Amino acid sequence: MDKPAEPEKVTCAVCRAEIPKAAALHAEGKDYVYHFCDAACFEHWDKEKEHGPEKS
């Protein structure tokens, strides 16, 4: 029953950084769970989701 030393990693949906799954924020889409490395990335994604991509 050995557990791997490496924690499972996921990729941030915004900046593509790899983070440990246990430390990631996540949001559920229709058929998919999105992971985020921190609150800033989550907010970025959440804004785009609500308002669509914006060009400034």
The residue ranges that bind Zn ion (CB under 5 A) are: 12, 14-15, 17, 37, 41
Positive or negative, the CA dihedral 5, 10, 11, 17 is negative
| Shortest separation between residue 11's beta carbon and Zn ion, angstroms | 9
Dihedral Cα 21, 39, 48, 26, nearest 10 deg = 30
> Would you say 7 or 18 has its CB closer to Zn ion?
18
Residue 33 beta carbon to Zn ion: minimum distance, rounded to whole angstroms: 15
Rank residues 2 and 8 by Cβ distance to Zn ion and give the closer one: 8
Q: For residue 36, what is the DSSP state? A: E
